């Protein structure tokens, strides 16, 4: 799978509204057949930073994502709300879902 984590610094006046601002893009991406997950979290340390964790099944799914109409719309719609260019980590890994964190295993 293609595993991506990206940090988005949002303009302070838009930070509280970011879930609404990015909603159409998020919902459309989650609806892609090759999208495994597309999840936003807000930083506990910086209220203007959101972290996006996303995964796509394979190269074809990743290519379909960046070629989609909703991705092209997001390239126009989202940057005016950003304080800087997002930072990204992008890796291919031989996995198709989350693994358990054995060091913090829950025993019931």
- Quick one: pLDDT band at residue 66, thresholds 50, 70, 90? very high
| Cβ proximity of 85 and 7 under 8 Å | no
pTM of the entire structure? Answer: 0.92
How many Å is the maximal CA-CA distance in the chain? 49
Beta bridge partners of 39: 53
Residue 75: both structure tokens together: 């390239």
Q: What is the pLDDT of residues 5-41, one digit of tens each?
A: 999 999 999 999 999 999 999 999 999 999 999 999 9
Kindly list the structural domains of the chain, giving each domain's residue range(s) and its CATH number in brackets, ordered by start.
Answer: 2-95 (3.30.70.100)
- Show the CA angle centred on residue 63, arms to residues 2 and 96, nearest 5°: 25
Distance, first Cα to last Cα, the chain: 32
């Amino acid at each position: 799978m293609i595993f991506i984590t990206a940090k988005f610094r949002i303009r302070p006046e838009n930070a509280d509204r970011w879930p609404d601002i990015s909603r159409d893009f998020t919902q459309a991406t989650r609806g892609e057949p090759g999208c495994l997950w597309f999840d936003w979290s807000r930083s506990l340390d910086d209220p203007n930073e959101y972290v996006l964790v996303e995964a796509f099944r394979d190269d074809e799914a990743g290519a379909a994502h960046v070629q989609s109409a909703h991705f092209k719309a997001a390239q126009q719609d989202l940057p005016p709300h950003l304080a800087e260019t997002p930072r990204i980590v992008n890796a291919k890994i031989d996995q198709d879902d989350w693994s358990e964190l054995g060091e913090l295993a829950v025993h019931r």
